[in-house]
Amino acid sequence: MKIDLRKIYRFDALERLPDGGLPKGGNVYYECNECKVIVASVSHIKVACDCGNLTGGGGMTEVKDAAKVTPLKGTLR
């Protein structure tokens, strides 16, 4: 089952960390630039984007190619 997080949250772009890394946190999400799927940066449920660049579960999210990811801040609507 896929949930479109855009229906629940309003997303605003975040800056990358000074070292170029991706921020993490309870209100931080990653959007895959390839397939446009949004995944939580700290995902507690098993999830993956359509192209496989983002996979998560157990409180972790793996990013295969960080250059293809946009970090976002999610705020409930």
pLDDT at 51 over 70: yes
pLDDT at 1 over 80: no
Residue 11 CA to residue 19 CA, distance in Å, equals 23
Q: Looking at residue 3, what is its pLDDT? A: 84
**11-34 average pLDDT score:** 96
Pairing relationship of beta strands 47-48 and 60-63 according to DSSP bridges? unpaired
Mean pLDDT over all residues of the chain? 95
Q: Looking at residue 2, what is its pLDDT? A: 77
Q: Three-class SS of residue 5?
A: helix
Return the percentage of the chain with pLDDT > 70, whole number.
99
pTM score, whole prediction: 0.93
- b vs e for 50-62, b when ≥16 Cβ sit within 10 Å of the residue's Cβ? eeebbbbeeeebe
